[in-house]
A and B are shown apart, each in its own frame.
Chain A
Amino acid sequence: MIINKRLLTAVVIAAAIGNVSMAKAASGNTSTAAGTASATVVAPIVLTHTTGASLNFGKFTVGAGGTVVVNSTGTGSVTSDVGFVPGGSSTTADQFSLTGDNSRNFGISTTNGTITNGSKTMSFTTAPSSTTGTTSATGTYSFTVGGTLTVTGTETPGAYTGTYNATVVYQ
Chain B
Amino acid sequence: MHKIKHAVAVLVAGFGSLTAPHALAASANTSVVGGTASAQVAAPLQLVAVNALQFGSMAQPQVGGTLTISPSGAISTTGDMGTATAVMQTTARSAASFNVTGIAGMMFTATGVSQVTISNGSARMTVGQFTINGTFSGGQIGANGTYTFNIGGTLTAAAGQAPGTYSGTFPITVAYN
* Chain A interfacial positions (CB closer than 8 Å to B): 25, 27-45, 101, 104-105, 170-171
| Contacting pair A37 B153 (CB below 8 A) | yes
Given known contacts A42-B57, A171-B87, what 8 new A-B pairs fall within 8 Å (CB)? A31-B46, A34-B170, A34-B172, A38-B54, A39-B118, A40-B90, A44-B59, A44-B60
Contacts of B57 in A (CB 8 A): 39-42
| Contacting pair B172 A101 (CB below 8 A) | no
Contacts of B88 in A (CB 8 A): 104-105, 170-171
Contacts of B52 in A (CB 8 A): 35-38
| B interface secondary structure, majority | strand
| Contacting pair B169 A36 (CB below 8 A) | yes
| Contacting pair A32 B169 (CB below 8 A) | no
Closest to B61 in A: A41
Stretch of B9-17, B30-38, B159-167 at the chain-chain interface: B159-167
- Expressed in whole angstroms, the Cα–Cα distance for A101 and B174 within the complex equals 40
| Contacting pair B171 A32 (CB below 8 A) | yes
| Contacting pair B165 A40 (CB below 8 A) | yes
- Expressed in whole angstroms, the Cα–Cα distance for A29 and B176 within the complex equals 6
Contacts of B118 in A (CB 8 A): 37-39
